[in-house]
Each structure stands twice: as structure tokens, then as C-alpha cells.
Chains A and B, each alone.
Chain A
Amino acid sequence: MIAELGLALLWIAASLACLSLVAGTLFLRGGPKDLAALVRPASVAQGVLTAAAFGLLIALFVRSDMSVDLVARNSNSLKPMIFKIAGTWGNHEGSMLLWLMILSLSGALIALFEKRLREDTLVATLTAQAALSLGFFAFLLFSSNPFKRLPVAPPDGQGLNPLLQDIGLAFHPPTLYVGYVGLSVAFSFAVGALITREIGPAFARAMRPWVLGSWIFLTLGITAGSYWAYYELGWGGWWFWDPVENVSLVPWLAGAALLHSVAVTATRNALRAWTVMLAVIGFSMSMVGTFIVRSGLLTSVHSFAVDPERGTFLLVLMAIYIGGALTLFALRAGAVAEGKKFALLSREGALVINNLLLTTILALVLLGTLYPIVAEAMGEKISVGPPYYNRVAGPLALILCLVMVAGPLLSWRKDDGKRLWSRLPASAFAGAAVLFALILFGGAVGILPLLGMTVAAVVAVASLAPLWGRTLRRVPLPTWGMVVAHFGVAVCLAGMGAESAFIKERLVAAAPGETIRIADFSVKFVGVKPVAGPNYTAIEGSLIATTASGGRFTMKPEARTFPGLMGTAPTETNEAALLTRPGGQLYAVLGQPVPGDDGRADRYQIRLWWKPLVWWIWLGGGLIALGATLSLLGRAQLPAMWRARRHRKTQERFAP
């Protein structure tokens, strides 16, 4: 019954989306006002029903109802409960339903809470949101029905890919999806504002919380995904420039550009057409990402077995939405009145450069990601890897960070160079000090890590400059947000630089009792023993790491084997052991047994890494998300009382 009810709810929700689309369109073309009154409640109901359908799908996974095709293919009654629930979205159909639920709920939230926009712009926005969700409803119902029943229920299911059975990963896709789909709201606001020609501060202020909110989730999702890849894959890297990572980075870059340009539109009523354009690009990049990942164009752990029909369907949907929005933009861009003017050397000027650099990096990353696909279509198989990305994105990112040093110190409209210089000595000094220290004591450091750490020092000091000489209690929340986020960028950059410059690696075949020296550690390999987990067996290695100062720590890397379920092959994974110290992390992987002359395994392959400051990378990611959260809280209508009048002026001067 549950599956049938879920499917029925989806059909009703889809009809409501259709109703919103028709009623909204008729109203906008001059129809009666009563039609507009339908759109809000229909959007809310659509959100509630889609969420209920998703809840029912979770219930099917929790009950391990193997008569449902999706559950049988992706779950197993022996799995721990948390992974049964996570299995709901660990597959193509379930993840598309999750996507659709977030899309519908976002529409419902706009309908319930958005009060600042003109009524017709709001209706146009909701209509655009309904049009988006209708397409994905069609995709789900016609080609990816998650509630499909099997004629005969198998005794048990095939289970979830063991690599995905990890608590961090259980929440990684929903987090990223909220970010991706949150950008759909910015997209719909842009389309709505283009339709009614209401492009100005009110539109920007309505859009801003959504941009900030989805960007927070994207930041957290990317940070968590990076950490997952770091400890779960056992390769010791934190970013591989894998196509799947890139397609999450691209909307993040668009979001970063958008949240800065929307600030200019909201505060200064400038860069209006550009903000609208970026809002369109942001969600387009989310869709491109989803398409690339899910269509099977690129195969990886993220791509579910997908047939070409689905890929074509998604491609057509994407072409309609992106093409439609761009056409609308082309038709109306001329009508967007010119914004307020500003000098090149001003906060707006710095933000324009920030936006140019971010979009350039976006384009270069996208180019590198799509190039192999294009080349393959022309009969040449190539792969574009880290050397390309480091070479193109690295220098641009460093320039971007330098602009970030100056931007917050400039005032809106116009500023003069002398005033800027007078505020920079401390940060310039910090950068010079780090640079000299690295050259004198750092040994052979690559040019990119060297500049990275130097720029990180400059940014770290400069990011705090907006707080100098102010009563900290009175600094408005959005300013705190900017300071924390920019400081987070510095922390992240320092971690990346230090890790790349000073990493130490040892790869040995060690017999029990042997000691391996790495950095300041002596690591003693005690031995291995078999252990059993809830649904796997493993060989667990035991290592004792001793620091120069006498600290003793036990590390237990594992090599796990998951039995094949219902005819699938067994799978093996490596669980790295991590030892976090103030100065970095020690990373241990247990490899394969090495047979001796008599054929018995007397040695084991062990790989050790010492990664200085590596955890700063994720700490920085967390700080960036925290900063964006503070900024969001400061702008929510909720703390209106905090925003006493005297703050309004400072806010205008220091808003990011």
C-alpha cells in the first residue's frame, strides 16, 4: 500500500505544479486576479505532498520491503538502520525524488514567507519554480519511478555499495542537493523579475537569503565530500579534480560570485543585469552537474547505472530551462535600467573583479571537465587531471585572494588609493614575514604552495581589518560573517599550501615488530588480527605511533571485505587510520600481505603519510560556511530588533 500511496501523492503534486504553472501564466498575461490567489496555496500543497512521498519511500527502505524494485536493488535487511535510511537516496530514483522534494519545498517556503516582493513578481517566481518542478516530475514519473513494484519479491536485497556505507557519506548527498536546488530559487527569482521587469534592491534582498543559504550547504557538502574522499578512499588526497568534484565546485563558484554581486545590487542598486545573469548561470550549473554525474557521461562512484533514454530526457529538460531563461534574459536585458554608477577603485569595483575572476575560474574548470567528453565524441580519449587545474585555477585563485584583501577595506562608490595603502601595512608585513621564513627555513617549496602560504598570511591579517578600532559588540552580524568567511579562506589556503609543501610519505613492507620512522614519529607495526563488523569481515592492523615528546597513540587501519549479496561479487575497502595532532595528521593505510619465500604472509604493505596542517583545509571550509551563516542570520527578518537604526549606516558601509 505504501508504494501505491507514494506514487499517488507524486501524481497529485505534479498536477498541482501544472495548476500553478497554468494559473500563474494566465494571470501574468492579464488574466483575473483570482488566478494569482491559486498559486500560493498550490505551491505549499505541492511541497507538502512531495515531502510526504519522500517520507513514504524512506518508510519502504526502513521496512526493507523487497517487493519494491528500488529497495530490492539497493538495500538489504542485514544493513544497519542508518544505512537503510541513507540507501533511500543512494541510488538514481531516490536521489531524483530527493532533488524534487527540495525543489518543491523551496517553492512552498517562498510562497509562505516571502513578503517583500511585489505580488506579480512573486507569482511569476512561483510560476517559474512550478515549471522547473513539473519537468522533474515528468522525468521521475515517466522514466525513473521510485515506487515500482516487482512481480515477485526476492527473499532479500542486493545491498548498498560498501564505499557508500559511511556515516559522512549518508549526509553528503542531501547537503549538496539542498545547495544545488536552493540555487533554483535564485533562478526562479531572476526569471520572475525579468518577466515583471522588477529588477532592483527589493528583488536582490528577496533573493539574497536563498543564495546565502544554498551556498552554505554547497560549502558544507563540498567540505564533507573532500574529507570523505580523504579518509575513505585511502589515497591520502583531499581534492582529486575528479569530474564529479568539479561539477560540485562549479555551482559553488557561481554561488560565490552571485552572493557578492547580489550584495552590490541590494545595497547599491548596481550590477543588476549581471546579478540576474549569474542567478541563471548558478542553477544552470547545478543542472549541468546533475546531468553529467547522473547521466553516465562520466562513470564514477557517483554515477548510478543509467540508460541513455534518461540521459536524453535530462538533456532536453536542461536545454529547455537554460535556453528559455537565457532567451528571456536576451529579450529583457536591454530593458534593465542602468544601475548606480561607481568608480573603478571602490568596493563595487573590487567586487566586479572578484566576479570576473570567479567566473573565469568557473569557465576554466568547466572546460577541463567537459573537454574529455568533447574529445571522446571526436574519437580521441583523453583525461584532464590535476596538472591542468592547478596551472589554470591556482594563479587565478591567488589573485582573487589578493582582491579579497583590498575589497572589504574600500568604501562604496569611490575611494582613493592612499587611504587603501594606509590600511595595508600590517597584512603586507605578515605576508613578507611568512615568505622570508619559508625561503630561509622551508627548504625546496614549490612556487604555488609558497605563494599560497604567503597570500594566506596576508588575507588572514587583512580579513580582520574591518574589525580594527571598533567596539566588537556593536559590529553587525553580516560584517562578522564577512570577516569569519574571509578568515576561513585564509585558513583553508594555509592548510592546502602547508600540506602540499611539507607532506612526508613512507611506503614499506613491514614485518610485525618493525618500526617505521616518519617526520617526528616512530611507528611500530605490532601485527594484524581478524575482526568482524556488522556486515563485513576485516583484517585490522595495529600500529603504535610515538612522538619525539613521548606521546603514544594506537592506530588501527583496516582492510574490509563485504560479502557479495544476492549474487553480486564481494567488495573490499581500505579503512585508513587517522591520528590528528595540532600540527597535522598522521595517515595510515594497511595494504596487502606480502608472501615470503615459504608462501606465508610474513610482511604487510603499510603506507604512512604525515600531512602538516591538513585539517586546516576543512576547518577553513567550516569557517567559510559559518561566516555565510552569520551573514544570513544578520539579514533574516527575525533579528529586526538587533538592527537598531545606528547600525544601518555601518552596515551599508561594511556589507560584503
Chain B
Amino acid sequence: MKAKHQRLVLAVVALCGVVGAGVLAASALRDEAAYFRTPDEVAGGKAAVGEAMRLGGMVAKGSIVRQADGLTIRFVATDGKASVPVEYKGIVPDLFGEESGMVADGRMRADGTFVADRILAKHDERYMPPQMGDMPKDMKAAVKG
């Protein structure tokens, strides 16, 4: 193979690679990126049933109900404007509690309940899970006021 020819082949291979990677990334981002929704947005019909998403809100006062199996809990997540019932089976994080902020990964079920696979709670004044930074302040005000 001539050097020039070979360079061309390499350039074409690299170009195909870059385009392929771009297409792969774009399609994966479209399919797999999860939206962060507030209860208000969910009530507004923004969350499709079965679509992976992240729900953020405050745990409403007096709403945590433990099921008989000792593992499943139900509670209501609210942002002061709307609320969404949440169901989670597992060990909740240490600082999870009523009237505090939480973020849950999961999806909406057809009956309007959000089924969480994982729950993150506000950890400490200085260290927080992602996306909780700006949330609790205004929501706290909304919930308490």
C-alpha cells in the first residue's frame, strides 16, 4: 500500500469512527437520559408512564406509611403546588424523613404512583446529593408556608 493511500484509509476509518461515535452518543442520550421532574411537572402530565426519570421534592408531613412486609414504604412527595405518591422497597437513606428533601430515581406507574428504585436524601448541611442544592430552600418555604 502506498503511504498516501494508507493515510487516506486511516483518515476515512477515523472519520467513520467519529461519526459512528456521534450517532451512538446522540441516540443513547435521547433514550437513556432521565429528566429531573418536580411533583408539579408530573401533575402537569410531563412524565410518561414507564419512562426513567428522577423525582425531587419534600416528603409531606405524616405521609410515610410502612407496609406490612417491613420493607416497602409509601409516602407523598410534594413541592407545595402538587404532590405525587411514591412507593419504594428497600432501605431508605439515613437522613430520609418527613419534611425533608429527597430525590428518587424510578418511573411512573399507570396508577399515578412513582415507583422508586433508589432514594437519595439530603445528607448534611455541607454535603448533598446531586441536584438538591437549589431545591430544598424554596420548596421548604412553599411547604411550610
Q: Which residues of A approach B to under 8 Å, CB–CB?
A: 161, 163, 234-235, 243, 296, 298-301, 303-305, 341, 343-344, 352, 356, 360, 363-364, 367-368, 371-372, 380-385, 387-388, 391-392, 396, 507-509, 559, 568-569, 571-574, 589, 591-592, 594-595, 603, 605, 607
Contact = CB atoms under 8 A, between A and B. Distances in A.
Interface of B: 1, 3, 6, 9-10, 14, 17-18, 21, 24-25, 28-29, 31-37, 52, 54, 66, 69-71, 89-92, 94-95, 105, 118, 123-133
Contacts of B9: 344
B24 to A, nearest CB: 5
Contacts of A352: 10
Contact of A592 (B10, B28, B91): B91
7 contacts: A161-B124, A380-B35, A381-B131, A384-B32, A509-B71, A568-B125, A605-B91
Contacts of A371: 29, 33
B13 to A, nearest CB: 8
A571 B17 contact: no
Given A382-B35, A388-B29, A569-B125, A607 B130 contact: no
Contacts of A571: 94-95, 123-124
A18 B102 CA distance: 48
B130 A300 contact: yes
Given A299-B132, A360-B21, 11 more contacts: A235-B118, A243-B130, A383-B54, A385-B105, A388-B28, A507-B71, A569-B124, A571-B94, A572-B95, A589-B91, A605-B91
Nearest to A300: B130
Contacts of B95: 571-572
B90 A507 contact: yes
B32 A383 contact: no
A607 B77 CA distance: 25
A396 B24 CA distance: 11
Contacts of B90: 507, 607
Contacts of A381: 35-37, 131
Contacts, number: 128
B32 A388 contact: yes
A605 B71 contact: yes
A307 B137 CA distance: 17
Interface of chain A, helix or strand or loop or mixed?
A: mixed
A39 B143 CA distance: 62
Contacts of B133: 296, 299
Nearest to B122: A569
A49 to B, nearest CB: 31
Contacts of B36: 381-383
B131 A605 contact: no
Contacts of A296: 133
B25 A392 contact: yes
A125 B4 CA distance: 35
A508 B90 CA distance: 9
A392 B69 contact: no
Given A299-B131, A392-B25, A305 B126 contact: yes
A367 B21 CA distance: 11
Contact of A343 (B6, B34, B66, B132): B6
Contact of B14 (A299, A356, A380, A391): A356
Contact of A304 (B1, B33, B126, B132): B126
Contact of B34 (A360, A382, A392, A568): A382
Contacts of B94: 559, 571-574
Nearest to B94: A572
Residue from A299, A572, A589 whose CB has the most chain B CB atoms within 10 Å? A299
Nearest to B126: A305
- Listed residue (B17, B18, B124) with the most chain A CB atoms within 10 angstroms of its CB: B124
A344 B91 contact: no
B128 A603 contact: no
A509 B130 contact: no
A385 B130 contact: no
Contacts of A573: 94
A486 to B, nearest CB: 23
Contacts of A363: 21
A594 B66 contact: yes
B69 A509 contact: yes
Contact of B33 (A235, A383, A574, A603): A383
Contact of A509 (B25, B70, B127): B70
A166 to B, nearest CB: 14
B32 A344 contact: no
Name which of B1, B69, B94 has the most chain A CB atoms within 10 A of its CB.
Answer: B94
A569 B100 CA distance: 13
Q: B17, B33, B70, B124: which has the most chain A beta carbons within 10 Å?
A: B70
Contacts of B29: 367-368, 371, 384, 388
A407 B122 CA distance: 48
Closest 7 CB pairs of A and B: A509-B70, A572-B94, A591-B91, A381-B36, A594-B70, A388-B32, A387-B32
Contacts of B91: 234, 507, 574, 589, 591-592, 605, 607
A399 to B, nearest CB: 10
A332 B71 CA distance: 64
Nearest to A303: B127
Contacts of A509: 69-71
A235 B37 CA distance: 24
Contacts of A360: 17-18, 21
